[in-house]
Structure 1
Amino acid sequence: MIALTPQLGELVTKTAQVPDLETAVWKVLSEYLELKTKALQAQIAQFEQKWDVSFDGFARKCQDNSLGVDPYSREVEQDYWAWEQSVTLLKHYQTLEAS
C-alpha cells in the first residue's frame, strides 16, 4: 500500500470525479491506459499507412532488403525503432488492461 499526501489524494479524487481514493486511482489509471492505447494504435496505423504493411512485414522486408528503399537509411531506421516501440508498448498496455 502506498501513502498519498492529502493534496495528491484530493487531486486524484477531483480528477476522477469520485470520492473514494482507491476507486479514483483505478479510474485514472484505466483512463490513462485507454488514452495511451488509442495513441499507440494511431501511431501504428500511421506507420502501416506510410509503409503499406504491418510491423512484422516491415521488419521482414528490412531483413530481406525488399522494402524498396535502403533499409539502413536514417528514415527507415527511425521508423523501425519508433514502430517497434509502439507495438511493444501497445502489447504491454493491453496486457495491463486485461489484468
Structure 2
Amino acid sequence: MPKASAKTSERRATVIKALAHPSRMLIAEKLMAGEMCVCDLKELVGADMSTVSKHLTLMREAGVLNCEKRGLNIYYSLACDCLGDFLRCVDKLACGGKKTTCC
C-alpha cells in the first residue's frame, strides 16, 4: 500500500468519524441490506426527524451515503458496498484480535 498523504489520512478520518456514533452505525448496518426511506430510518434510530437528518447529513457529506429524492420521500443507500468487510475487521479488533467473532 502506498504511503498515505496527510490529505488522505484526513479524508479517512472523516469517513470513520461519520460512522463513529451508535445511531449512525445502526443506520449504516441497516443500509447494508438495501436502501431505506428517511421515515423508516427515523423509526430505526428512535429519534426525532431533526436528529436523524443531522446524522444522515453528516454521513452523506463524508461520502458514506447516497440519497435520492422520490416524490416527498428521500431514500438513502450506502455509497460503497464494502462496509460489511470493514465492520467484520472492526469486530475482530473489538474482540482483541481473535479469529472468531465475539459480537
- TM-score scaled by length of structure 1: 0.40
- TM-score scaled by length of structure 2: 0.38
If you compute each CA radius of gyration, which structure gives the higher value, 1 or 2? 1
Between structures 1 and 2, the one with greater strand share: 2
